[in-house]
Amino acid sequence: MRASLLICFRLFLALLLLAPAAVFAQQRETHIKADLVAESAPAAGEVMDVAFLFSPDEGWHGYWSNPGDAGLGMQLEWDLPEGWSAGEPLYPVPHQLVLLGLMNHVYEGDYAVLVPITVPDDAVMTGWGPIRVKADWLACTDEVCVPEQAVLTLRVPQVQAAENPFDHYRAALPPLIDRTATFSVEGAALRIGIPLPASMDIGDPHIFVQQDRITADKRVAYADPQAFGREGDLLVARIPLADLILPEGSDLAAFDPLTLVSGILAFGDEGDGISFAAVPGEVPQVAMPVASGPVEIAPLWSLVLAALAGGLLLNLMPCVFPILSLKAMTLARAGESEQQARREALAYTAGVVLACLAVGSLLLTLRAAGQEIGWAFQLQEPIVVVALFVLAAAITANFAGFFELPALPITREGGDSSAFATGLLAAFVATPCTGPFMAAALGAALLLPAPSALLLFAALGLGLALPFLLLGFVPALRSRLPRPGAWMARFRKAMALPMGLTALALLWLLVQLGGRPFALMALAMVAGLVLGLMVTGRLQRSGKMGWPAFGLIAAPFLIFGAFALPSSYAESATSQAESIHDPVEFDSFMLNDLTLSQGKPVFLWFTADWCLTCKVNEAVAIEREEVRQAFEKAGVITMRGDWTRRDAEITRFLTDRGVAGVPLYLWYVPNRQPEQLPQILTPDMLVQRAEAIR
């Protein structure tokens, strides 16, 4: 229906413009001033370039040859000497203007349209003029449109300027690529393959299609988002099409299949672009983001504040709770003396910030080397998880009193090295669980220059350490802590429970990463190490040297683990639990087909087994029977991306969305830009969106 109304609107405008000139004779003043200028005097057998110079008033705009959903392109009637001919007008790159859901292709400032005029070889060059043209165009604001016309007489400059203005006019024209593009129509989409070097930066691309009508019953849906993907030296664009409804028996129903699709590929809003001509042909399927558009990066100062707040909030996130035992011991020791509290606060802060910088630097280095990784990549590596499992089990045994290890910094009763090591471990284990304030900051860190990115990682660490830093330097806060005493020994044993739960969670993660045999081998190795620690503790309590015995007991288990773990690792281990939604696994091709070709609503979520925030959201807001029923009624298709292990396609998709890690929740509705939902979902959030579709 909208397409039919637009056609009627254009016909109405055309009739107005073709009315007798007397209708407009009273309106001499125009809102777009026009002039017609030649580069130089014409010569027989040559092509003379002439320029239409348009200067819109403030707030007014003119139109490209294809105006888009509404408007009207310029119409020209030439009065030329016999045998002379005018070519097609050449336009600069237009801009997108969306009003009331309709997209127009406009020019809002001064612009020049060039027209080549061919002078025949036998032209008589005496008394060749004047050359006139009757030009009709539409001048619009955001609220009103006025058809305007003028009879322009060609001016030839009598004095050559020091700088030829036609050089600027030509520079504004998008050059035609020297290779032919191809196009195909697939369902409700026009796909165009444009040969472009893979190294060419295309910015935020958008294609202005010259042809409005693509098939007998389809036209370009200008306001719908376009999608782009690359395969080597080929850029593939997907342009949505809309149904074209014509009156029955109308002469407009006749349509010959297109043999050429032309247009302009713009590289953002700066007026840069190229023009292309595409012929029917095969266009390969390539992965592409669902909608074109640049990743908007907030000012650096706001990203630093977001990272600081995210690190501070990370102290309260569920995924950080297993490490609270280490932090609690540091808090308790902070009450011993003011000088010691300050030293430990600084040491703890240094450990946290250094760990965040180290992880961030490694992340940036690996990405610069071509690795497709994101934030929390360390928990996607089985060997790292095994090491954390061993460490968590050892700390649990120490907290439980099975053994004493004064030489280990994180277990000593005080000291700067203890606080520093505690900060290192806390940051390394805690930072993978990104909070809602951290998503934008960490996502921007992957796109910013290295110094700015490292500043964000440091701010994240400072936020994580801020409570301890305040306790060390604010006596009023420190005075509220319980005084050191015998209770600390009992508290240390109590903290063995959350640390033990951490070890169990890491063991479960090993099952997801490498399969049950892999996790059993790791458990057997850790059991042997804990047995050695218990024997060591027994000897310590009797006043004997226990560490030689630990070495004798632990060595066989470590050798066993070195051989058994690699051989038992299963690359294809299943990592995701069953879902009541029966989601399809993430696939960018399928996502494009569902959302763009088939026009179906899709809920896409990215998760990982090591992300406790993800698991909480799934239990609270996703894996609910009310949500399943609402999705079923609204026809919502669910798609899940599992990032438990490293996945290059998921990493690229997250990066394209300006996100560094999981969770990520996206809501797709036909003919609308995808909505990125908050990282913390409420129970009714998905139900409300599904009900809004029906």
175: left (phi over 0), alpha (psi -120 to 50) or beta: beta
What percent of the chain has pLDDT above 90?
27
Q: Check residue 592 and give its pLDDT.
A: 75
* pLDDT tens, position by position, 6-50: 544 444 444 444 343 333 333 457 899 999 999 888 888 999 999
Instruction: Report which of residues 63 and 430 the model is more confident about.
Output: 63
CA distances from 333 to 352, 410, 490 (A): 18, 13, 14
71-75, 163-167, 223-227, 657-661: lowest mean pLDDT where?
657-661
Q: How far apart are CA 213 and CA 672, in angstroms?
A: 22
Decide if pLDDT at 411 tops 80: no
Q: Check residue 2 and give its pLDDT.
A: 46
Kindly provide the b/e burial profile for residues 295-307, where b requires at least 16 CB atoms within 10 angstroms of the residue's own CB: eeeeeeeebbbbb
Q: Check residue 134 and give its pLDDT.
A: 94
Q: What is the mean pLDDT of residues 644-655?
A: 80
Q: What is the mean pLDDT of residues 240-267?
A: 82
Antiparallel, parallel or unpaired: β 261-267 and 234-243: unpaired
What percent of the chain has pLDDT above 70?
81
Q: Which residues lie closer than 8 Å to 536 by C-beta, 6 or more apart?
A: 403, 546, 547, 549, 550
Q: Check residue 242 and give its pLDDT.
A: 84
Instruction: Report which of residues 605 and 294 the model is more confident about.
Output: 605
Q: Check residue 693 and give its pLDDT.
A: 83
* pLDDT tens, position by position, 176-215: 998 889 999 987 789 999 999 887 888 888 999 999 999 8
Antiparallel, parallel or unpaired: β 637-642 and 584-585: parallel
Q: What is the mean pLDDT of residues 257-283?
A: 90
Q: How far apart are CA 235 and CA 276, in angstroms?
A: 12
* pLDDT tens, position by position, 367-405: 666 565 666 667 778 888 898 888 888 888 888 888 875
Sheet containing strand 102-107, edge to edge, reads 62-68, 102-107, 95-99
How many CA atoms are closer than 13 Å to the CA of 61, on its beta-carbon side?
21
Decide if pLDDT at 152 tops 90: yes
Residue type, 647: D
Q: Which residues lie closer than 8 Å to 30 by C-beta, 6 or more apart?
A: 139, 148, 150
CA distances from 635 to 189, 601, 673, 689, 693 (A): 21, 7, 18, 12, 9
Q: How far apart are CA 433 and CA 613, in angstroms?
A: 7
Which pair of structure tokens corresponds to residue 534? 């218990």
Q: Check residue 410 and give its pLDDT.
A: 45
